[in-house]
Amino acid sequence: MTTGVDEIRDRAQAAAPAVSTSKANKVIYVTGYGRSGSTLLDILLGHGAGIVSVGELDWLHRDWSESVCSCGSTYEECPFWSPVGARIRDSVGALGPDELDRNLRRVESILSLPALLTRTLPPRWTKAFRAQVRAQLDAIAEVGSGDAVLDSSKSAREAAGRALALERLVGITVKRIHLVRDGRAVLWSARRGPNYRSGKSTSNEWPRFSFWRLRTIAGWVLANAIAALDAKMAPEGHALRVHYEDLVKHPHRELERIGSFIGRDLTPVRHRIERGESFPVGHKTGGNRLLDGGPVRLRADQEWEKRLSRGDHLLFWALAGAAAFGLGYRWRPR
Ligand SMILES: [Zn+2]
């Protein structure tokens, strides 16, 4: 039997806004390799209802004193990150950036993945991780006035277990978007210059490190393998694969698919693309060269199809063909 009080409470709950502005209820996590368009996806989804997109969140502590926010301010002066930092300090104490970073890395690194999967990480590590990340996500949700935090930390070796750790140790819902891009386009992007995280690279010079092709191809295979493993470990319905090529060629269809997956209406984002409008970058950490160019527009980048050498095509297909095939790529561009 329901009482009048119950009815009033039920009505109040039904009328309450779906978005809480004090707690993070969900993380939307972009997995995969860098240079795959995650910054673009991050910026697009950041304009969805209740979504606060922050770039590569796992880089925040390392960047804090060494780099600047994508708005151009230092983190201490940025109108978004400054209050976020203050709330984190209120919650976990004034830990230095090195300690904050170590608390993440020792849990998220690929070396810790077996212990994370078998739930045998030292309790001291998991406790520190949980307190720190929970404080960070709630601070971002509160300052950004949303309940879903979009984190594009992806799946490099040092963040290999991050999505799983957020889910298992912090106890928050994690919706993974495995963003994958043709490895040959990634190879072409690497050829054009180092993808400096601070966004300072404008160099068109050939990257100077040796074996850059092997590094890029190996990195692409590994990060996508980690993302695929993570998707297998995720609860049913918590992982979605998106091809970058589909996103830029059919943004309406893909954004509808993504919106349905994350439970958010992305119609305003689709309308904005229809009108040909640009998207302000906002306050992102750990971005790449996109962040230097101001507002972002959606455009297909097919330069590699004509300009990547036949040798690089062959090298990629010889080394990573099986992985590429498994991810839905063929010799002809998608
Ligand atoms: Zn900023």
For residue range 139-150, list pLDDT tens digits in order.
999 999 999 999
* pLDDT at 211 (0 to 100): 81
Average pLDDT over residues 82-88: 95
Q: Is the pLDDT of residue 209 over 60?
A: no
Q: Is the pLDDT of residue 309 over 50?
A: yes
- Rounded distance from Cα 301 to ligand 1 centre (Å): 28
- Rounded distance from Cα 240 to ligand 1 centre (Å): 29
Ion ligand 1 neighbours, Cβ < 5 Å: 69, 71, 78, 283
Instruction: Out of 137-146, 183-192, 201-210, pick the least confident.
Output: 201-210
Sheet of strand 26-31, all strands in order from the earlier edge strand to the far edge: 51-53, 148-151, 26-31, 173-180, 239-243
- Rounded distance from Cα 76 to ligand 1 centre (Å): 9
State how beta strands 173-180 and 239-243 pair. parallel
What gap in Å lies between CA 35 and CA 278, rounded to an integer? Answer: 20
Q: Domain boundaries in the chain?
A: 18-182+199-207+225-301
Average pLDDT over residues 143-169: 96
- Rounded distance from Cα 83 to ligand 1 centre (Å): 11
- Rounded distance from Cα 149 to ligand 1 centre (Å): 16
Band of pLDDT at residue 9, cut at 50, 70 and 90: very low
- Rounded distance from Cα 74 to ligand 1 centre (Å): 7
For residue range 54-83, list pLDDT tens digits in order.
999 999 998 998 888 988 899 999 999 999
At 150, the amino acid letter reads L
Q: Which long-range contacts (CB under 8 A, 24 or more apart) does 304-307 make?
A: 304/182, 304/184, 304/185, 304/187, 304/188, 304/189, 305/333, 307/188
* pLDDT at 136 (0 to 100): 96
Identify whether the C-beta of residue 242 lies closer than 8 Å to the C-beta of residue 258: yes
- Rounded distance from Cα 77 to ligand 1 centre (Å): 8
* pLDDT at 13 (0 to 100): 37
Identify whether the C-beta of residue 139 lies closer than 8 Å to the C-beta of residue 80: no
H helical segments located in 109-243: 113-117, 123-144, 162-165, 183-192, 212-233
- Rounded distance from Cα 183 to ligand 1 centre (Å): 32
Provide the mean pLDDT of the chain. 86
Span 18-182+199-207+225-301 CATH architecture:
3-Layer(aba) Sandwich (3.40)
Nearest in space to 240 (alpha carbons), one of 257, 219, 223, 263 = 257
Nearest in space to 144 (alpha carbons), one of 299, 303, 4, 25 = 25
Whole-angstrom CA distances from 253 to 246, 247, 248, 278 are 9, 8, 10, 19
How far does Cα 254 stand from its chain's mean position?
Answer: 17
- For the CA atoms of the chain, what is the radius of gyration? 20
- Measured at the alpha carbon of residue 230, what is the angle toward residues 225 and 235, in degrees to the nearest 5? 150
- Rounded distance from Cα 264 to ligand 1 centre (Å): 25
191-203 CB burial, b ≥16 within 10 A, e <16 = bbebbebebebee
Question: Quick check: pTM over 0.95?
Answer: no
142-172 CB burial, b ≥16 within 10 A, e <16 = bbbebbbbbbbbbbbebbbbbbbbbbbbbeb
Residues 6+ apart with CB under 8 A from 134: 170, 172
* pLDDT at 39 (0 to 100): 87
Band of pLDDT at residue 294, cut at 50, 70 and 90: low
Whole-angstrom CA distances from 27 to 1, 72, 229, 230 are 37, 25, 18, 15
